[in-house]
Amino acid sequence: MAQRIKKQAIWANREKIQKRKLSRIEKSVHIRPLLLIACEGTQTEPNYLNSYLYELIRKGVLSARSYVIAPHSHTDPCGVLNDLLSFKKDGLKYSDYERKWIFIDRDEMRTNESSGHPKDNFNTALSLAEQHQVKVAWSNPCFEFWFLLHFVYHNTPIDRAELPEKLSSFTGIEYKKNCLKMYEILRDKLVDAIRNAQKLEEFSTQDPCDANPMTTVFHFFEENNIATYEDSIH
């Protein structure tokens, strides 16, 4: 009797080990193509978004292999969309991903500067993104306005050149576009930023190209609020 019980325990233990092995194999073989992102900036947006998504990974909600920020080749809205649409890796292409997002700025051109985007480029990117079922997190004038909304509700036109000084004032440190800790600095104010952006959108009557100030970045967090955002509102 004792020997039979011992054998049963051995087989039960072997079954558990086998199930764990199969689970590890499945996790290593099957990649759920969940989220594909392309950004206009080379540092500001990717640094911020990676920090947020890494938090989801630490909480076990998102796999490190289920999201990708596409390689950066362009700095204009249409080019950013092309970076996403042309993405191919490990046998996957953009259409295989469940959620597809581009992060672009209005960044209006000025006569005395070489930077900025033509109005047609911005509007075309919005139109083509909709045709390809790609969601757009756009900011007018630029992505830093999303950062500002973490601290204050702002509904009057603002120049992109004003934002670094304002952010430095609110954070207490000099704002730099390559800062690796912006998400960490702003994390606890995420709900405030979402609410401020929602309010701006609610009362806006202008086209995206002329809607200064405005940002739709908050829609990305509404769709991908699996952990951090939910934690903040409870």
Q: Which two tokens stand for residue 140?
A: 């007018």
Cα dist from 218 to 2, 13, 27, whole Å: 63, 48, 31
**Please, how many CA atoms are within 13 Å of residue 70, restricted to the half-sphere of its CB?**
28
pLDDT at residue 164 in the model: 97
pLDDT, mean over the chain: 86
Give the global pTM: 0.83
Report residue 57 as tokens. 């990974």
Q: From CA 133, how far away is CA 135, in angstroms rounded? A: 6
According to DSSP, the β-strands at 92-93 and 88-89 are antiparallel
How is the chain split into domains, by residue range?
A: 32-233
Per-residue pLDDT tens digits for 19-40: 454 344 334 435 678 999 999 9
- The pLDDT tens digits of the residues spanning 47-80 come to 999 999 998 888 887 888 899 999 999 999 999 9
Q: What is the pLDDT of residues 145-203, one digit of tens each?
A: 999 999 999 999 999 999 999 999 999 999 999 999 999 999 999 999 999 999 999 99
Helix (H, G, I), strand (E, B) or coil at 3: helix
Which distant-in-sequence residues (6+ apart) come within 8 Å of 110 by Cβ? 116
User: So what's the pLDDT on residue 60?
Assistant: 82
Check if the beta carbon of residue 88 is closer than 8 Å to that of residue 104: no
Q: What is the pLDDT of residue 16?
A: 57
Q: Could you identify the residue written with the tokens 């939910």? A: 230
pLDDT band (50, 70, 90) for residue 230: very low
